[in-house]
A and B are shown apart, each in its own frame.
Chain A
């Protein structure tokens, strides 16, 4: 199997994630789409690592996972707090920065 197919898959996953971030309102779903984008990037790292025959890309994907784990901790806490205070997890309701 051609190794470049992994790159295509990674790009498709990234685009799906990006579209999800832009079009979905539910904060949980938006969050999941962000995870999808991160993982698309991880896939690309690992693929490039394989193509180049060194471990740099794989190490980078570990870093990404660590960052993603931290992000999930902080992000979910924010979403839960937001839901408690406003009874809604819609990102469009949280538009106070405008004023």
Chain B
């Protein structure tokens, strides 16, 4: 462990910048975006510096910590606000700040016509700060602060155009679905506190081997729930599609490259818990496998380019979650896929944004077509990202996804065949829907709406896309060269040094199988969509319609959660009205009735007062007489 003093600037700089831009108001409108971008770039600079400093150290001294202040001190329970930068965190720091800076640059051009551009950049910086806190916190409690912070930033940015009610609703939906996951994380923290008396990663790691398996499984399940909420995994996946209401750079940064992968980070960070509980691992792989197929199937039916990409994100994160559930051997591959995915998905999202920019914000792919000729750079970069995601060698996705499929097959027995089969099927569907996106958008005849004059985007938007697509070409090869990432992460995730289980197939066979199904998927899509594409979506088979409705996720949530919830609320409101308010109203009624009756005595006639006084005097005398009798 090395102690450093400059880690806090990673978080403090963007946080300060965000507050600065928000408080300064319209004065900063002219230069706020440059300021925010410069801050983001400087955090990337600090990240790079830390990375090289870490590489120059060796062994145990690579991980660095910084204690900022004592946060909570209750009796023997102490939590410091301190940061931990180890081999795992630095991957995320570089991804967040690197991709984040590119997206800042892109947004300068993309949001140039928006009158609230300064606010947008302030939120982006807030996100960077919160996300860095999430990956740098050295305890679950510190992580939780960042976890909530990114949730807030995500909410603010999805609803950035909240003058449109549908967008505001989408923001709320994302926030509420995330809250469900957050409950899981807070429960996990409570379990860790009661069982281990500590909430730091190192404290829990030391205590985990002595804990009961029930506690570990409960902890793992709660962490999985948290990951499912943040990473849009089954059964909390429904918010991601609607989250595309946010501006496209947001979709690229938060809902593709970084925030939605926080769940993968959480599980990888908690590897000591999942290594100790096979039940929790089983839950993780089930969730991952279901989500990767779920997202892929939804992706085949979406005509909205951003929603198709969102479904693809969900599916790809399913791959990562699946990999994290495969035990020590899987974590590094999950992180590798996370990094390569960060490159190619961000590049494709920015490409989609570039297309929308040229097409008057049209998102319906049936209204695209033939855009390859008018937007050559966007088309080429999007194509590189496309080759990466479907896993064509030597592009990035090939290395990372192949490893996951291979590891899934090696899980052993029926489980291995099922998981590997699901991953392989997912790869085929991925190839199909991504080919569909590319064919519908960039090739074929023009189906543009009247009055659209597509044009290539300004270079301020193209440069980030080009840089990201370079990443999506090369990152897989570089990370996989000599198992670089696996060795790099080994001290964090692979304590036992365990290698994968029995080899079901040779790696080359898995690669050949994967390539085979990918070619199959691509050919099917090309054959299906190369002809004329109707502008109005055809009715389609029941399965297509079901997939268009997101496989009924919203219907399910509505019937199973929303309606009973509303029924409970209504009955509680009724009880409040009739019972609680009833008592209060009864008291009031009795008082007002009594006073209304007594009021009649005050009639203003002197004689009646005199009579009452006489009666009163007689009654008083009678009482005295009776008492003294």
Chain A interface residues (CB < 8 Å from chain B): 18, 21-23, 25, 30, 91-92, 94-99
Best-buried of A22, A23, A99 by chain B (most CB within 10 Å) = A22
Return the chain B residue nearest A27 by Cβ: B606
The 8 Å CB contact of B603, one of A25, A30, A91, A98, is A98
The answer to whether the Cβ of B604 comes within 8 Å of any Cβ in the partner chain is yes
Chain B interface residues (CB < 8 Å from chain A): 602-607, 610-611, 614
| CB of A71, distance to nearest CB on chain B (Å) | 15
CB pair A95–B603 under 8 Å, yes or no, is yes
Which of these, A18, A23, A91, contacts B606 with CB under 8 Å? A91
A91–B602 contact, CB under 8 A? no
Separation of A98 and B611 alpha carbons in the complex (Å): 16
Q: Is B604 touching A97 in the complex (CB atoms < 8 A)?
A: yes
Whether A22 and B605, one on each chain, are in contact in the complex, defined by CB atoms closer than 8 angstroms, is no
In the complex, A92→B605 CA distance in Å? 6
Is the CB–CB distance between A22 and B611 below 8 Å?
Answer: yes
6 interchain residue pairs of minimum CB distance: A98-B604, A95-B604, A97-B604, A91-B606, A22-B611, A21-B610
Interface of B is mostly: helix
Residues in B whose Cβ lies below 8 Å from that of A92: 605-607
Contact of A95 with B614 in the complex, beta carbons under 8 Å: no
Q: Decide if B604 touches A22 in the complex (CB within 8 Å).
A: no
A30 to B610, CA, bound (A): 11
Q: Closest A-chain residue to B606, C-beta based? A: A91
Q: List 5 A-B contacts (CB under 8 A).
A: A21-B610, A21-B614, A96-B604, A98-B604, A99-B604
Closest chain-A Cβ to B619's Cβ sits at a distance in Å of 14
Inside 8 A of A97's CB, which chain B residues have their CB? Answer: 602, 604
Chain B, Cβ-Cβ closest to A96:
B604
Nearest residue, chain A, Cβ from B603: A98
Which A residues are CB-close (under 8 A) to B605? 91-92, 95, 98
On whether the beta carbons of A22 and B614 are closer than 8 Å, the reply is yes
Q: Which residues of B contact A94 (CB under 8 A)?
A: 606
A28 to B535 Cα, complex, angstroms: 105
Q: B602: which A residues are within 8 A, CB to CB?
A: 97-98
B611 to A, closest residue via Cβ: A22
**Complex Cα gap A96–B604 (Å):** 6
Collect the chain B residues with CB atoms within 8 Å of residue A91's CB: 605-607
Q: How far is the CB of B123 from chain A (nearest CB, A)?
A: 65
Name the B residues within 8 Å of A30 (CB-CB): 606-607
Q: How far is the CA of A22 from the CA of B615 in the complex (A)?
A: 11
**B617 CB, nearest partner CB in chain A, Å:** 9
18 more CB-based (< 8 A) A-B contacts, given A94-B606, A98-B604, A99-B604: A18-B614, A21-B610, A21-B614, A22-B607, A22-B610, A22-B614, A23-B607, A25-B607, A30-B606, A91-B605, A91-B606, A91-B607, A92-B605, A95-B603, A95-B604, A95-B605, A96-B604, A97-B604
